[in-house]
Structure 1
Amino acid sequence: MSRHHLCELLWDLPNDPRGELRWCLSKLRGVLDEEGQTRVLAEGESLRLDLTGVDVDATRLAHALQGGVATLGAEALRAWALEFRGDFLEGLDIPRSAAYTAWLTAQRRRFRAAHAAVLEQLAMSLPPAADEAVPTFEAWLRLAPFDGRAHEGLLNALAASGRLREGDEHLAVVARQYEAEGQDWGAIGHAWRAAKQRHSRPALVVAVEVIKSEPEPSLPPARARRASLAVMPFSDRSRGVSARGGLGDGLAHDIITRLSKLRSMFVIAQGTVFALDERRIGAEDAARRLDVDYVAGGALRVEPGGRLTVSVQLSETRTARVLWADTFQGRLGDTFGVLDEIGDRIVASLSGQIEVAERNRAILKSPNSLDAWEAHHRGLWHMMRFNREDNEQARHFFQTAVQLDPSFARPYAGLSFTHFQDAFLGWSDRPQAEEQAYRIASQGLMADDLDPAARWALGRAHWLRGRLDESIAELDICVDLSPNFAHGHYTRAFVHSQSGDAQLAIEATDHARDLSPFDPLLFAMLGTRALALLRLGRYDEAADWAMKAAARPNAHVHIMSIAKHCLAMAGRREQALEMAAAIQRVQPGYRLDDFLSAFHYGSDADALMRQADHRMAGWSHSH
C-alpha cells in the first residue's frame, strides 16, 4: 500500500502523519522482523508485508473458498466453523477514521458471509435427524436471520427429530420477525407444514408417495430460470463525503439499468437494493435475503486532483466465493464520460463472468437433469469450442432449451449461430444452413424482440444471405438496445470490415474488445480489425493484427487465410508462405474461391485479395 493511503486510512489528519507512520513502522519491525527475514518492506512510496512461511487464517480461508466450499468435506467444514471466533479484527477499531471504518465494515461483512457459507454447506450435508443438524442451522441463522433456506432447513431438522412444538414456536418468532421487516414469511410457513406432514407419517407411506409423485429422471423442469444478481450501491470513500445520492448511487443505478437491458439474467430492481442499503444491510446479507445467485458491489474514491478509482467485486451468494474483482480508474474532467466508460467495462465484466460461471456449472450436470437455462449454457460451452463436433453438440442443447421454454429467446440465437457456423465454415449445404439460421433467428425475435442477442442473430443471418443493409439495421438496433453487448459491436465491425465503413469497423471492434477482452470470439475480432486495416492500405498493421488473430487457439481456416493475404500485401514473403502451408495442413485443397465465397467482400476488398493471391502464386513458383 502507498504511504499516502495508509496515512489517510489510519489517522484523522495528525500534525505529522508521515512522522507517525515512520514511528509505527519502527515499532512494527521490532515485533515482526526475524533474524534473516525482513517482514516490513519499504519500496519507495509503497509498503508491504512479506508473509512467506506465515500462517494467516484469513488468507487460508480465502484460498479454501476460492477452491469452492462445496469441495470441502464435513470434517474440514467443522474445523472451519470453529475457526470463527467473533468478528474480523474484533476490537481493532479507529472511530475517527471514516475510511478505515468503511474498509473494516466491508471486511467483517465478507467474513460473516464466509462463515455463513461454511455453516450452510455443513448444515445441508447433514441428515435432518442428526444430533448436530439443529445447532448448525441455528448457528447459520444467527449470522443470516432472514435467510429463508436456513429457516426451512431448521424446521425440517426439528420435524425430523420429532420436536414439533419447537418448530411451531420458531415459526411464530419468524412470522413476527419478518412482519416487522415488511417481508413475506409465507414460503417458510408452507415449508413447515410440508415438513410436519413428511415426518409425522409412517416412513413406508411417505416413501411410496414420494416415488409415485417423482417425475421421470429424463424429464427436466419445463421452464427456464435465470441467473439472478443484486448490484448494491457503491460506497463513496472520498474524504469528506458522507451523504447518499452521489457518484456511488449513480454508478450502481447505471449498472443495474444496463444489465437489465442485456435480458440474460434477472437483476434486482434499484429501489429494493437501495432500500436495503439505506438500512445498512451489507451486500452479502442482502443477497441472502433476496435469495439471488450473485451479488456485486464495491467502492469508489475521488483522489486529490480529480482521479477516480472504482473497485468492484462479484461473489456467489451461497458459497461466498469471489468470482471476479477489479479496479478501474479515470479522471473526472468529464464526470459523465468517465462514469460511462467505467460503467461499460463493469457491466461487460459482470455479465461475462456470470455467463462463464453458469456455463461451467451446466457442464458438470447430467444432460438429462438440465432445465432450459442450463441447457442453453451447456450449448454455449460447446458453441465456443468452434469445431464441427462441438457445434453439433451445441445445437442439441439449444434445441433442448427451446423445447423446454419456447419463450426463452437466447437459445434461438445460439441455435441460429450453429447453423451460421455450418454455412460460413462449409460444414453443410450453405443455402440450407443459411435458411435455417434465418428462420430460427426470426423465431428468437418473436420470443423477445427486445433481447439484443435475438437482434444479433438476425443481423448475422441477414449477412449470410447477402442482405447487408438489413444486417446493419438489425445490428444497429442490437447495440441501441444494449450498448454493452460486445458481440453486437463485433458483428457490426465484421460486416463493415468487408464492404462498408472500414474506419467504423476498427472503432467497433476496438470497443467490442474493451467490453470483452477475453472473449472466445477474440480471434474473430482481431481478424476483423486486420481486414479493415487492409482495406485502408495499412498493410503492415493489418499483417500484425492478423497474425495475432491466427495465433489464437480457436482460430479457424478463414482467419488463417486473412493472415496469409495480409502478410502477402505487407510483402512478408516467408511468413506468408508458412501460413499458406499451415492452411493446407488444416484443410487440404483450400483455395481462394473457398475464402472469397465465405465472405461478402466489396469490389475493393475482392481486388486486394486477388492481388495478394497473385503475389503468393509468384512467390510459390520462385520458392
Structure 2
Amino acid sequence: MLAFLALEDRAIRREALCDMFWESAADRRAALRWSLTQLRPLLASRLGQALQTDAHFIAVDRSLLSVDIRECKALLGPGGIPIPDSRLKAIEEALAAGFSADLELAVGYRYELWLGGERESLRQLHRQALDEQSARANTPEAALATARKRAALDPFDSDANARYLARSMEVDGKDRARLALDGMRDRYRAEGLSDHGLVASWRGLGPTPELVLPDKPSVAVLGFTDLGGHQDGPVLSQGLAADLTLTLGRFSGLFVIARASAERFTVHPPDLSLVARLLGVRYLVHGTTQRLDRRVRVTVTLTDAQFNTVVWSEHFDRSLGDLFAVQDDVSAAIASAIEPEIVRAEAERAGLKAPEDMSAWECYHRAMWHCYHFTAQHTEQAYQLFLRALTLEKGFARAHAGLSFAHYSRAFLDATPAPDSAVALALEHGQLSVDLDSRDAMGYWTLGRAQFLAHEHDQALQSLGRSLAINPSFSQGHYALGFLEAHSGLHQKALPELATAERLSPLDPMLFAVEGTRAISLAIEGKYNEAAAWSVKASSEPNAHFHMQAIAGACLALAGRGVEARSFAQRTRREHPGYSLRTFERSFPQKFEAHQTLMMQALRSAGVPESEA
C-alpha cells in the first residue's frame, strides 16, 4: 500500500484502497485502519508525518520521502539534470532488476492491473536509461553491450534488434552477427510474427562503404520527437524537420543531407555515431516538440557525432497562433543559432592543427575565428589563413569573401597606412566571391560592407538585399542591412532589421555591433537618452572594439552627459592611440551630410581631436 501511495500523484479515497487491497476481506475498513497504524510510525520523522489522512482520503507527502522510481523519472525525463556515467549505470542496473519481489501480491485484479501498468512504466524508464547509455558509449564494445541489453528488453522491437545487429557486425564480425540474426528470426517465427522488417534491416547492414566526410561542415536533421499532448504535435515535429533542413541548406558553407535520407532514422534517441557514419556527416540535429494549450516548446540539440559530444542545446518557446508561421519562425531561429555554433566548433577543431595540416575549409573557419576578435593582430592572422585556403583550393569563393572581410577590417579598424587601398581590395575580393558563387549569401555580405566603406550606400543596400534573398536566416546579413540603413537615413527600417538580427542570433559574436548600430540610429533620430543607454551597453559586450567606446562618447555627449562622454573618448584614445574624427568618419560614413555632422560634433564635444596629431 505504501508503494501504491508513493507512486500515485493524487490522494486516494479510502474506499478505493479497500477495493484494491482487501476486495474479499470481511471487514475491509478495519484492515485499512490496522495498516495505517503500522505505517504511521514508519513514516514519522523529525521533519513531520509523511502519512496524511482524513475521513475520506489518504496520501503521502512525497517531499518527506525518497522514492527511487520517481527519482529515476526525474533524472531521465525531459529537462532532467545531467548525471554522471556512474550514476546512470547504477540506475540502469536497478531498473534491470525490476520491482521488489515483495510487491508480488495476490490481492485482486485491480492491484494486478495497476502493477502491470507500473511494470510497463518501469520498462520504459529502462529503455530511456539504455538509450542514454548508448548515446554516451565511447567505444564500439560499450555500444554493443548496451545494444544487447536494449534488444533483450524488447525482443520484438525491430529498431532495437537492428541496432544490436549493426553493433554486433561492427565488433564481432558478420558471422557472429548472422548467428544473432538467426536467433531473432527463430523467436519471431515462434510467436507467429513476420521477420521481413528484420531481414530488411540486416540487408541494409551489408557492405556499404563508410562515407567520407566532405571538406565543408556536414550536417543532417534527424527530426523531432513529438512528446504528445496535442493532435497537431506530429504536424509541427515533422514540418519543423523539413523546414529546418531547407533553411540550413541555404547556408552554402554547410553540406546538408537531404530530408529523404535523414528521415529514415526515426528511432529516438538514435544511435548517433552509427547514423552519422551511415549518412556521412559530422553533425546531427535532433530534438523534441511539445504543445500545451496555446504554447509550444521546441528543444533542439546539435551533436558532434564523431566525438559523441553536445556542441549546443537550447529550447525555444513560442505562443501559438498560426501553426505554420510558428514553424517558420522557430526553424529560422534554430538555423541561425546552429550555423554559427558549427562554425565555432569547426574553428576550434582547426585550431588544434598546425596550419600546414589544415584543409581549405579548416583554414577558412579558423580565419573567421580570428576575424571576429576585431584586432589588427587577429586580422593579419586571418588574412594569412585565407591566402592559404586559396592556395589549397583555387577559385574558393568563401576564401575571397574572407579576404574581403580582412581588407575591410584593416580599413575599418584603422590598421593600415593605406585605408583607401584596403577598401579597393575589399571590393575586389567581394566581387570575386560573388562571381565565383552567386548563390552564397556570405559573398554579397562582404561585398556590401566593402561598398559601404567606399561610400556606395545604394549599391551596398542592393548587395545586402541579395544576401538576405539567398538566405533569409542569415543573422549577420540582417545586422549589416540594419547598419547600412542606419547610415542611409532609413532609421524606421534599421531598428526592425537589427531586432531581427538579435532575435535570430541572441549570442552572436557581433552583438556589440548590433547594439552600437541601434545607438547610432536612435541618436540620429534625436532619441539621445536611449542612444546613450544602448551605446554604453554595446561598449561592454564581448568583442567590442575601440569604435564602440567612441560611439558611447558621442551618444553620451548628445544626451548632455559630458563627464561620461569625455571618459569614453579618453578610453577610445587609450585603446587606439591616434584615434581622431577622421578615423571615425572613414569607418562610419553617413549618406547624408547632416547626419555625419551630428556625430562628428558630438565626438568633438566629447574631446576626440580632429586629426591623429
For the aligned pair, the TM-score class normalised by the smaller chain equals: 0.7 to 0.9
Q: Distance in 2 between matches of 1:294 and 1:88?
A: 32
Q: Describe the shift of the 1:614–1:379 C-alpha distance in structure 2 as closer, same or farther (beyond 3 A).
A: closer
Q: Partner amino acid for 1:582?
A: R
Q: Report the alpha carbon displacement of residue 410 of structure 1 after superposing the two structures with TM.
A: 2.6
Name the counterpart of 2:23.
none
Q: Distance in 1 between matches of 2:553 and 2:419?
A: 24
Q: Distance in 1 between matches of 2:513 and 2:255?
A: 29
1:398 counterpart = 2:418: no
Name the counterpart of 2:256.
267
Q: Deviations over 1:131-152 (max 9, x none)?
A: xxxx678648858966999789
* Alignment check: 8 A CA contact 1:565 1:576 kept: yes
Question: Based on CA coordinates, which of the two structures has the bigger radius of gyration?
Answer: 2
Q: Distance in 2 between matches of 1:331 and 1:472?
A: 33
Q: Report the alpha carbon displacement of residue 542 of structure 1 after superposing the two structures with TM.
A: 0.4
Q: Deviations over 1:230-262 (max 9, x none)?
A: 212222223254985x11101111111101111
Q: 2:139 aligns with which of 113, 119, 123?
A: 119
Q: Distance in 1 between matches of 2:406 and 2:252?
A: 21
Name the counterpart of 1:196.
none
Name the counterpart of 1:504.
493
Q: Distance in 1 between matches of 2:254 and 2:455?
A: 33
Q: Distance in 1 between matches of 2:413 and 2:49?
A: 59
Q: Report the alpha carbon displacement of residue 477 of structure 1 after superposing the two structures with TM.
A: 1.1
Name the counterpart of 2:534.
545
Q: Describe the shift of the 1:508–1:149 C-alpha distance in structure 2 as closer, same or farther (beyond 3 A).
A: farther
Q: Distance in 2 between matches of 1:49 and 1:38?
A: 10
Name the counterpart of 2:4.
none
Q: Report the alpha carbon displacement of residue 186 of structure 1 after superposing the two structures with TM.
A: 3.8
Name the counterpart of 1:348.
336
* Alignment check: 8 A CA contact 1:459 1:471 kept: yes
TM-score, normalised relative to structure 2: 0.73
Name the counterpart of 1:248.
237
Q: Deviations over 1:556-591 (max 9, x none)?
A: 222211111111111011110111211222223322
SS in 1 for 2:242: helix
Q: Partner amino acid for 2:532?
A: A
SS in 2 for 1:275: coil
SS in 1 for 2:10: helix
Structure 2 counterparts to residues 511-590 of structure 1, below 5 A: 511-590=500-579
Q: Partner amino acid for 1:19?
A: A
Q: 1:364 aligns with which of 331, 352, 366?
A: 352
* Alignment check: 8 A CA contact 1:300 1:309 kept: yes
* Alignment check: 8 A CA contact 2:165 2:181 kept: no
Q: Partner amino acid for 2:310?
A: V
User: Structure 1 residues 85-94 or 468-477, which shifts more?
Assistant: 85-94
Structure 2 counterparts to residues 40-439 of structure 1, below 5 A: 62=82, 91=98, 108-114=130-136, 117-120=137-140, 139=145, 154=171, 169=175, 180=201, 183=204, 185-186=206-207, 225-239=215-229, 241=231, 244=234, 246-277=235-266, 282=270, 284=272, 286-304=275-293, 306-428=294-416, 429-439=418-428
Q: Distance in 1 between matches of 2:428 and 2:42?
A: 72
* Alignment check: 8 A CA contact 1:38 1:50 kept: no
SS in 2 for 1:559: helix
SS in 2 for 1:349: helix
Q: Distance in 2 between matches of 1:586 and 1:358?
A: 30
Q: Distance in 2 between matches of 1:137 and 1:300?
A: 27
- The aligned length equals 522
Q: Partner amino acid for 1:372?
A: A
User: Structure 1 residues 547-556 or 142-151, which shifts more?
Assistant: 142-151
Q: Report the alpha carbon displacement of residue 85 of structure 1 after superposing the two structures with TM.
A: 5.7
1:19 counterpart = 2:41: no
Q: Distance in 1 between matches of 2:438 and 2:393?
A: 16
1:472 counterpart = 2:461: yes
Q: Deviations over 1:275-309 (max 9, x none)?
A: 332x77836353353243222222222213x2212
Question: Could you tell me the percent identity over the aligned residues?
Answer: 29
* Alignment check: 8 A CA contact 2:580 2:608 kept: no
Q: Report the alpha carbon displacement of residue 339 of structure 1 after superposing the two structures with TM.
A: 2.3
Q: Describe the shift of the 1:102–1:480 C-alpha distance in structure 2 as closer, same or farther (beyond 3 A).
A: farther
Q: Partner amino acid for 2:316?
A: F
Q: Distance in 2 between matches of 1:537 and 1:551?
A: 23
**Structure 1 gap segments, 5+ residues each:** 1-9, 12-16, 40-45, 66-78, 121-134, 156-166, 192-220
Q: Deviations over 1:28-64 (max 9, x none)?
A: 999999878999xxxxxx989999xxx9998999566
SS in 1 for 2:204: coil
* Alignment check: 8 A CA contact 1:348 1:515 kept: yes
* Larger relative contact order (CA 8 Å, sep ≥ 6): 1
**Structure 2 gap segments, 5+ residues each:** 1-6, 18-35, 51-61, 100-114, 151-159, 183-197
Q: Partner amino acid for 1:111?
A: Q
Structure 2 counterparts to residues 591-606 of structure 1, below 5 A: 591-601=580-590, 602-606=592-596
Q: Report the alpha carbon displacement of residue 526 of structure 1 after superposing the two structures with TM.
A: 1.0
Q: Distance in 1 between matches of 2:95 and 2:396?
A: 44
Q: Distance in 1 between matches of 2:41 and 2:263?
A: 46
TM-score, normalised relative to structure 1: 0.72
